[in-house]
Amino acid sequence: MIISMRPHATKEEIDHVRERIAEFGYKVHSIEGAERVVIGVVGVGDVTACLESLEATPGVESAMRISAPYKFVSREFKKEHSAIKLNGIEVGGDQFIVMAGPCSVENEKQIMDTAEGVAAAGAKVLRGGAFKPRTSPYDFQGMEGAGLKLLRKAKEATGLAIVTEIMSDRDVDLVAEYADCMQVGARNMQNFALLKSLGGCGRPVMLKRGMSSTIKELLMSAEYIVAHGNPNVILCERGIRTFETATRNTCDIAAIPVLAELTHLPVILDPSHATGKRSLVPAVSRAGVAIGADGRIVEVHPYPEKAVSDGAQSLTLAGFREMMAELKPYMRLWESTRAAAVAQTVA
């Protein structure tokens, strides 16, 4: 159940609602909004009686049942699509947002050249991992703090927002100092200690789907972040493991409209990890625009043959420019479709 308090409900009213919920045997989670409190209620009990009682309790505006196991992120909870603000732009708004950059931050020249190139071609967010989750402990693990500093330098030079990976709850404060958006990688999608700590990080989170995770599991992980106090979550489809070996992962393109039915959170596509192959990135990117993703995150490297990670799937700067130009007419169509959808919701 979700209980929305009236704007400016008093502390006494809120405490009274909490007591009533406990009397019915339920547990309380609460999100303090700017001007209204929304209380999430979980547990097992007499839902109908509890709802009826709460609806008649002073200070309560509405009480509703949410049947999905994920509550705050569900469409049942919020019908309108959420737009997540980062550094002056919105993911999930009326603009299709392109995030681009190398898999790993490697050195100053690499990140500055990439940032300038992708910004000139229309990207709004610079990606780049300073903490890298690698399958082998002998592979490059990331520049860590020094990489974060280079990302800041690139942001200062170009104005691009920064999305970078957070791997451990121990590093949340450090990464949040530099990142406009905290990326949770596929391998950490169910790192529950990390998800909980991101609830209080004060930055939007981009949550990537685990390579063997269902859509429901992805939404449950998003729910962890929101239930712990951070409503600003962007979901990312990055391909899943199947029997197919022609691509690095199998791009579950249908996950995007499935998610649009189930959640109000914005969803972006990662065509780079979804395919593992540079030549496939433009076509899959086009599919992402057509199917209604809110944006994409693409790996780009000024000299992919020298990349320390994911060179085979990284576009060159020229390749990225060409793809952005090729997708222009599709983007215009996306914008008019989005504007019509927003107008319909408002009407």
In the region spanning residues 307 to 326, those forming contacts with Mn ion, defined by CB under 5 A, are 310
Q: Whole-number minimum distance, CB 218 to ligand PEP, in Å? A: 12
Task: Compare residues 229 and 276 and give the one whose CB is closer to ligand PEP.
Answer: 276
Q: Is 238 in the site for ligand PEP (CB under 6 A)?
A: yes
Task: Give backbone dihedrals phi and psi of 63, rounded to 5 degrees, phi first.
Answer: -135, 125
The answer to whether residue 186 forms part of the interface with Mn ion (CB under 5 A) is: no
Site string for Mn ion, 87-106 (x = CB under 5 A): ----------------x---
- From residue 91 to residue 120, the character string flagging contacts with ligand PEP as x (rule: CB under 6 A) and all else as - is ------------x-----------------
DSSP string, 278-320: GGGHHHHHHHHHHTT-SEEEEEB-SSGGG-SS-GGGPBPHHHH
Among candidate residues 218, 248, 216, the one with its CA nearest the CA of residue 235: 218
Query: Please, what is the minimum distance in Å from the beta carbon of residue 140 to Mn ion?
Result: 11
Exactly one of 71, 155, 248, 273 binds ligand PEP (CB under 6 A); that residue is 273
- Decide whether 37 or 103 has the Cβ nearer to ligand PEP: 103
How long is the chain? Answer: 347
CA–CA dist 275, 315 (Å, integer): 12
Tell me which stretch binds ligand PEP (CB under 6 A): 31-39, 92-100, 182-190, 195-203.
182-190
Closest approach of ligand PEP to the CB of residue 88, in Å:
23
- Find the Cα–Cα–Cα–Cα dihedral 207, 208, 211, 212, rounded to 10°: 30
Q: How far is the CB of 185 from Mn ion (least distance, A)?
A: 9
Q: Which residues contact 295 (CB under 8 A, 6 or more apart)?
A: 91, 96, 97, 98, 99, 266, 268, 269
User: For residues 131 and 334, which CB has a smaller minimum distance to ligand PEP in the complex?
Assistant: 131
- Range in contact with Mn ion (rule: CB under 5 A) among 74-82, 213-221, 304-312, 324-332: 304-312
Distance CA 178, CA 72 (A): 28
Rounded to 5 degrees, what angle do the CA atoms 209, 153, 104 make?
Answer: 35
> CA–CA distance from 127 to each of 90, 154, 338 (Å)?
16, 11, 25
**Residues of the shown chain interacting with ligand PEP in the complex, contacts defined by CB under 6 A:** 103, 129, 133, 185-187, 208, 238, 273
Residues that bind Mn ion (CB under 5 A): 103, 310
